[in-house]
Structure 1
Amino acid sequence: MMVRLGTRRSALATIQSESVAQLLRDRGHEVELVMITTEGDTNRAPLETMGGTGVFAAAIRHALLAGEVDLAVHSLKDLPVQPEPGLVLAAIPSREDPRDAIVARDGLTLAELPQDAVVGTGSPRRAAQLNALGLGLAVRGIRGNIDTRMSLVTSGTVDAVVLARAGLARIGRTAAITEVLDPLQMLPAPGQGALALEVREDATELRAALAPLDDPDTRAAVTAERALLGALEAGCSSPIGALAEVVEELDGSLMISLRAFVGSKDGGFELRRSVTGPIEAAPRLGIELAQLLLQDGAADVIPPGAPPKPDAFPTHPEDLVPTNAAERES
């Protein structure tokens, strides 16, 4: 089977796409990478002013729906929560380390940075959690690819930057990391570190070819995180962090531990809560935690919206490939 894989032109996006392409080639398929430019690549404004989530995915999704490409490899954290009509997530491979990392001058950790040290990030979520730590840091908004942001440290423009460890690992830059941040300090973005393989809903053969790449534990974890995000996101741009982890109980059952953060960008308000439940309840756990956050004060900074239905977030890999061409994924 010949597969046209649509990808952004950035080094990270190309590496992520090529890794998936190689997995398909190892299974006997031919893969051609098709470069696509997105609004997030050309517009240097802060992401939240462009609509935030989705600015990197829209052009690739359009190409998928138009039949110009057959497969898209997204960073899952860049995908809107609500499904795109006509498209499905055919696989979510095993997740990279989802934590955030510090790249700082002189090998410094976050706690070792002096008061008023300038820390660069383009993420309101990271800015909120940095400010909430009360370390007296000066958080500055930045944009650009990983190497561009890291160059701000070497040039002395900033003292440190915060980046996703997964991205640094994928482009071979982990040696530059001066500290990997504990989620107790900074929860990552929902879906951070995970890839999403998206195809047209009617691409039955390609969906079947991609199904073995799906990791059930990763899918369950990000399903919980994105269900939470979906219940909080409507009408709001407040910083939100979430991390779900799958753990095995003594009786062999699988449970999900889900933690979340909601705060204000200036660090003046922060709220952290967690829930635990069975792995098959991943969507419900995300929605329940969102409701708990809203009840405990997040509603003051996040206008409540109608939560998505739990069945909008498929958990089990067998849901990925329909038993017949007419069956639709929920």
Structure 2
Amino acid sequence: MNYIKSNKLFIGLLIAAVVALGFFAPTIYNYTKHSLKVHKIESEKKAFLIEIEKQAKEGKMINSPFKLGESSALIRKNWGKSDMFKEEDMNKEPTKMHPFFMDLFSDGLIPMKYRSRIYSKHDTKFEITHENKIKSITSVDKRLDKLKRNELTKYFGKPSIEGKDYVVYRVGDYQLLFNFWHDEEFFNTTRYTILRKDSKKQIAEIKEIAQLAKKGKVPDVPISIGETKNGVYKIMGEPEDTNIPGLTLRYKKASIEVDEKTKKVIDISPNAQFYQASFVTVKNTLGEPYKEEQKQKVTSPVISYRFGKYELTFFFFTESSSNPELSGIMLSEIESQ
């Protein structure tokens, strides 16, 4: 009797299990299918990151056979002429514009010798040195959009530089700069650039600027913050030009701002061009700035550091470069601002 009851109970449970399985089968199937998809996507991402890293260790970029430091003539020989900005492209819907559209547009505003070499069909952009060597390579490969910011850090480790919409990782003798599009929550990668690591000369240049700034001085200018207007005239002679109130003194070596009340120097902007250093070099050498500004996407950043009572501001060339070169500096007295 107990045996029959046990069998009935077992059969009842079995029927209930089959019914439940039938009821939940679609959910289980969809969950399993989703898990497999996620696993597949993660595997694809990892394989993509492995390829990026592998190429970077050789100074190369995905989708491109060229290496940093090689002659730009090789690009033209193998890929032909680079793209030029076309006005008719402005009539396209934003979603149909190539990711390099704004690069081409901003390149069209600067002299030819400073322009990038953009090949939209290869999703690749090259920046060239004054010696016609490849300085950096940028990719806008569509697969980048699947890479989240936290996934990059998980793979490459802690960034050497981290901004609101960019990060830099060191890979061997090179650096990878990733840029993001974000909606304050999801940071999707839009492009990445391979750069050489900072040279000793570049680092020394920035360190010298910072050391002088701590003393209220800038390179190649014989006066310091706090010098009197009369002292400036005595040391540097008559300025080549002044503004109407006579408070900005313009010399061949620098522009000097004098406080109207105290008649003392409060700002110095040397006219020397620091072509060796770049945005990444400055941040790698001096760390996170006190202030970083970028009002427009096509405008290069302006970053400031504070040393005691002085503020040192770095300006960069306005161009489409992911890593713009340093164009000038300004040292100011914080108390007078």
TM bin (shorter chain): under 0.3
Name the TM-score, length of structure 1 as normaliser. Answer: 0.24
Name the TM-score, length of structure 2 as normaliser. Answer: 0.23
The structure whose RCO (Cα within 8 Å, separation 6+) is larger is 1
